[in-house]
Structure 1
Amino acid sequence: MNRITSFLLSALLLVSCSMPWGKQQDEKRKPRKFTTEVMLRYTPVKDQGRSPLCWAYSMLATIETEHIMMGDSVNLSIDYVTRKLLAEQARCHFLSRGYDRVTLRGTMPLLLRLLNEYGAMPYDSYNNPSINYNSIAKRIGVLSNTSVDMSQLAARAERLFDERIGALPKKVYMLGAEYTPEEFAHSVCMRSEYMAMTSFTHHPFGDSFVLEVPDNYSDEFFYNVPIDVMMKRIERSIRRGHPVCWEGDISENGFSFAHGIADLPNDRPCTQQERQKAFETRRTTDDHCMTLIGIAHDQNGRRYYIAKNSWGTDNPYGGFMYVSENYIRLKTIAIVVKSI
């Protein structure tokens, strides 16, 4: 791979999760009409900006909808989780002498692990929508390379976070009760409540394995099932009031944020073998995460899943997207669902 090709590939990976492809490239058109069958409740649509934090936004949105459907009012802080992620990565980068990179990328189960280890905060307690996390991540790498020991690095990183993001509250207050961040996180989400699933034939069905995609640097495990089983699980979860965190490919021409639609040119069900071939030949890539919170159908009766995105509200459906069932079937890399 020459230097120019390597640079272009790196640039593509950077924007894949953060750049609203259709929003940048397509002109808006009249919205298509859909009939909603199921629509779960949700917190306001957020905007991740140019950060590649879609995996964290979508998993937090999944937890939020899960609680709202149970009657709780929960809106979680992305900034708290990202701060803890960067502090952890500063430590790993220092101890590995730069071998472990500082990155904002990840997969959905990583968010569950961060909540379990470091806790959570409500959105209103700790949020700063104007942060450039890409810049902070670069600065963390510099601090790691120039610190003489762990204590110095930790102190310098905390000062950076306080200056750029804001000082952390010492306690979490919710509905008149006081929590530590860890206590609050465990009150809204236990890691064991969720299952990460995928569907590929290069590992046996019924087993869990570390999914081989670039963003899974934390070696998260995914339970492998046939695609028909996964599709039934997605539909059953939503119809029972449980959102689904979705991770998959958005590089298809039929994926347009500006139009609020994702479908395939030849929108037909794919086979398990076709899914595998698209993955192995890199026609299905791990680009983006969203939260599936509804089911609808178009005027021809074709099923679509309603996805809550994290690119703001500037599209015909207020930031939501209608993703065809066949798009989900072919282009899904993985999902996280409530263990029901």
Structure 2
Amino acid sequence: MKKITIISSFLLSSILWGQNINEYQFTPIVNNDHTSVLNQGQTGTCWSYATISFLESEVKRITGKSIDLSEMYIVKNTYPDKAYNYVYRQGKAQFSEGGLAHDVMNAVRKGGVVPHAEYLGLSPDAEKHDHSIMVAKLTAYVENLVNHQKAFLHENWQKEFDAILDEYLGKEPTSFQFEGKTYTPHQFAEFLKINPDDYVSFSSFTHVPYYKPFVLSIPDNFSNGSFYNLPLDEYMQLMNDALNKGFTLSFSSDVSEPTFSAKQGLAILPLEGKKEDYFKVLLPEKWATAEERQKNFENFTTVDDHLMHITGILKDQLGNQYYDVKNSWGSDLANGGDVYMSAAFMRMKSIAFMVHKDALSKDLKKKLGIQ
């Protein structure tokens, strides 16, 4: 009887993992409101694209309004803070194109938001975003200040830095018309009911206490943003609960793995299998422990290199869960530019996420001290 059971299990496994029936077939389970996929172009501004997309979904959820907000307005208003941080830490800080979701909230708090139509963030002769020359000039400018402080660090350096931004991104509006009314960027954020203080960031690591805020030690956290640390299972459960309640999430992740493919529209974490089969045939996946997740983070197998927007949940034909992740690399890819990310990949490779505090249960709010 035992031998028959073993043989039957082997045959079942062969059927499940080796036949054409296991080519990926997805069924949407949760599909929350979101705007269309955009292309960030030759820029490192995924953090703004992901979180502005997230805020557009928030506006729809809270007010019912469909809105297209400017990503580059946020980028423009964040660069001066990066420069100040870099210069007055005498170059011992990150100055790059990267950022995190809370940097968008900081920019909204400081400068509000504007419709995309009011600020394209393009130089007069440009049709697509390409920040390569601008970033080189900005970097050279702040490095020169740091390396030759006595000669070049003067009271007008920030205005000179802003002038470089104006040259490539354009001057941002101080007021504009929307639906027949005049708004400042701050007034427009209030009109859309975007309150930066309503958003909370979460991560899951073992080197810091659970249920406490901590500063996540990754290069793009130049602004020293705080994240609440949750046990891994609770981190994943909060993500699921939020999506099922109609919330979406802005999140950061490692996308450098060979099993992440925007072209194929899939991100998976298979236990085994030939590389060429990763995106063709369903394979058993690795379900990481908290300790394995921590080890991957500390040996740089998992790194923070991209932000995206989680909008929904799907399942494959075997009932495995995936997240519908809106990317910012254009719509001419699989799934119209979305990536279907397995729960196993998310569990191991996601770094952190941001969500509205109303997505949290009363018990979790109480445990974290969130009002």
- 3-state DSSP of counterpart to 2:354: strand
Structure 2 partner of 1:110: 103
* Maintained 8 Å contact 2:82/2:222: no
Match of 1:59, SS? helix
- The alignment's C-alpha RMSD in Å is 2.0
Deviation digits for residues 14-58 of structure 1 (CA, Å, limit 9, x no counterpart): xxxxxxxxxxxxxxxxx9431111111211211112322111211
Match of 1:262 in 2: 267
> Post-superposition shift, 1:73?
1.7
Residue 52 of structure 2 corresponds to residue 60 of structure 1: yes
Instruction: Assess if the C-alpha contact under 8 Å between 2:43 and 2:129 holds in 1.
Output: no
Asked whether the equivalents of residues 172 and 184 of structure 1 are also in contact (C-alpha less than 8 Å), the reply is no
Note if contact 2:52-2:69 (Cα within 8 Å) is conserved in structure 1: yes
| AA partner of residue 73 (structure 2) | Y
The farther-off stretch of 91-100 and 70-79 is 91-100
Once the two structures are overlaid, the 10-residue window that deviates more, 140-149 or 206-215, is 140-149
Paired position in structure 1 for 2:3: none
What is residue 141 of structure 1 aligned with on the other side? Answer: 139
Map 1:81-120; keep pairs closer than 5 Å: 81-120=74-113
How far did 1:101 drift? 5.0
User: Cα gap change, 1:285/1:142 in structure 2, threshold over 3 Å: closer, same or farther?
Assistant: closer
d(CA) in 1 for partners of 2:153 and 2:205? 45
Match of 2:67 in 1: 74
**Alpha-carbon distance change, 209 to 90 in structure 1, aligned in 2, over 3 angstroms:** closer
- 1:42 maps to amino acid: H
How much identity, in percent, do the aligned residues show?
Answer: 31
**Aligned match for 2:296, one of 278, 287, 292:** 278
Cα distance in 2 between the residues matched to 1:325 and 1:197: 17
State the partner residue of 2:41: 49
Q: 1: distance between equivalents of 2:316 and 2:337?
A: 19
Secondary structure in 2 matching 1:167: coil
Deviation at 1:158, TM superposition (A): 3.9
| 172, 175, 183: which one aligns with 1:179 | 183
CA pair 148-281 structure 1, distance change in 2 beyond 3 A: closer
In structure 1, what is the Cα distance between the partners aligned to 2:94 and 2:319? 47
Please say if residues 86 and 140 of structure 1, whose CA atoms lie closer than 8 Å, have aligned partners that are also in contact.
Answer: no
Alpha-carbon displacement from aligned partner over 1:139-177 (angstroms, at most 9, x marks no partner): 1234443755232x3443343333322232230332222
Change in Cα spacing, 1:165 to 1:283, as seen in structure 2 (3 Å) is: same
8 A contact 2:73–2:119 mirrored in 1: yes
Partner residue, 1:336: 354
**Matches of 2:92 and 2:269 in 1, distance apart?**
39
> Quick check: 2:308–2:326 contact (8 Å CA) kept in 1?
yes
Out of 186, 194, 215, the position equivalent to 2:199 is: 194
In 2: Cα distance, 1:133 partner to 1:257 partner:
22
Q: Aligned partners of 2:78 and 2:211: how far apart in 1?
A: 31
Return the TM-score normalized by structure 2: 0.78
Consecutive unaligned residues of structure 2, counting only runs of 5 or more, are: 1-22, 146-151, 272-284, 359-371
Q: 1:121 to 1:282 in 2, by over 3 A?
A: same
Q: Deviations over 1:295-336 (max 9, x none)?
A: 111111111100000111121211001000111111111111
User: Structure 1 residues 268 and 209 mapped into 2: Cα distance closer, same or farther (>3 Å)?
Assistant: same
Structure 1: which 5+ runs fail to align?
1-30
Aligned pair count reads 309
Is the CA contact (8 Å cut-off) linking 1:77 and 1:124 kept in structure 2?
Answer: yes
**TM-score of the two chains, using structure 1 as the length reference:** 0.84
In structure 1, how many angstroms separate the alpha carbons of the residues matched to 2:263 and 2:86? 38
Structure 1 residue matching 2:118: 3-state secondary structure: coil
SS at match of 2:346: helix
Q: In 1, Cα distance between the equivalents of 2:217 and 2:347?
A: 19
The reply on whether 1:312 has 2:330 as its aligned counterpart is: yes
Q: Deviations over 1:39-83 (max 9, x none)?
A: 112112111123221112111111111212341122211111111
Other-structure match for 1:234:
239
Q: Distance in 1 between matches of 2:129 and 2:155?
A: 25
Aligned twin of 2:129: 131
Change (3 A) 1:218 1:92: closer
What corresponds to 1:217 in structure 2?
Answer: 222
Q: Secondary structure at the match of 1:318?
A: helix
